[in-house]
Amino acid sequence: MSVKVIKDYYTKRKAKLLKDFDSILPLSREIFATKFKDEKIDEIFNLMRQEYEDLIPEIPYIGGKKNFFTNYLIGSATILAIFRILEKEGFTLRDIGEFCYKLNDINNKFRKKMMENTGKNPSQYPFEKEYMDYMKVLTKTSQKRKYPEDWVADYVEGDGKTFEWGFNVYECGIHKFFKKFDAEKYVPILCLSDFSEANIFGFGFSRTQTLGNGAPLCDHRYIKDLQTPRAWPPDKIQEFKIKL
């Protein structure tokens, strides 16, 4: 199948992407404040911004706004830029993982409050029919494999007892993107962000395996009336196979 690839899709949007990146960095200042003075934090932020700017042209085109997964790819470039600078600053992989999880917790607490302010119940959004129907369409579309650097997944109907619904990911765009930069080691700690969201929002989530941990798929499952554990430290999380 022949598809149109817009090579300058992200570079044309660089100003907006950098503005979004700049809005994320302040969320991490309180984490850095335990290790560095303000001047050093500002220096690190500038390095991260430049690293991200350099990555923007490297983000693969997978359909732009028409593909929901594009947001995930942009987010993965954001976090990769941050991870690379953290490593240059002497952070170990475990340090980076802890930083990532704390940043996700801060962001998810902010998102939860925003949802509650609009009258939504964060613990129920994965079980809304509209959302589940959307995921059915999204996963089915992914199976057309229009773009080689995109996701490929299928929807899994639940039994209403062990889980409500789920999806299996056979190809992950983030995993492919990180692999391109020899950064696969970061993927398992990045995947833990799903547990942070579920834990803070208050919905049940489980996963026993991921591509980033060497499995053939990622088996996401959404479960009502389950308290998702906080996944840091990740040593007792079933999917997590690497040693930090």
Judge if the upstream peptide bond of residue 126 is cis by omega within 30 degrees of 0. no
- Do 217 and 209 form a contact (C-beta atoms < 8 A)? yes
Report the C-alpha gap between 165 and 221 in whole angstroms: 6
Answer yes or no: is pLDDT of 80 > 70. Answer: yes
Domain ranges of the chain: 11-223
Reported as a pLDDT band with limits 50, 70 and 90, residue 195 is very high
Q: How much is the average pLDDT of 74-85? A: 98
Average pLDDT, the chain: 96
Strands 152-157 and 165-171: antiparallel
Q: What is the pLDDT of residues 26-60, one digit of tens each?
A: 999 999 999 999 999 999 999 999 999 999 999 99
Report the C-alpha gap between 61 and 173 in whole angstroms: 11
Answer yes or no: is pLDDT of 61 > 80. Answer: yes
Predicted local distance difference test score (pLDDT) of residue 1 = 53
Report the half-sphere exposure of 118 (CA within 13 A, side-chain side): 8
Q: How much is the average pLDDT of 195-199? A: 98
Strands 152-157 and 204-206: unpaired
**DSSP, res 61:** P
pTM value is 0.95
Predicted local distance difference test score (pLDDT) of residue 2 = 64
Cα–chain center distance at 88: 22
Reported as a pLDDT band with limits 50, 70 and 90, residue 90 is very high
Report the C-alpha gap between 84 and 13 in whole angstroms: 23
Predicted local distance difference test score (pLDDT) of residue 3 = 80
Q: What is the pLDDT of residues 144-179, one digit of tens each?
A: 999 999 999 999 999 999 999 999 999 999 999 999
Q: What is the pLDDT of residues 217-226, one digit of tens each?
A: 999 999 998 9
Reported as a pLDDT band with limits 50, 70 and 90, residue 4 is confident
Report the C-alpha gap between 50 and 108 in whole angstroms: 25
Answer yes or no: is pLDDT of 83 > 60. Answer: yes
CA angle 135, 217, 6 (to 5 degrees): 60
Percentage of residues in the chain with pLDDT exceeding 70? 99
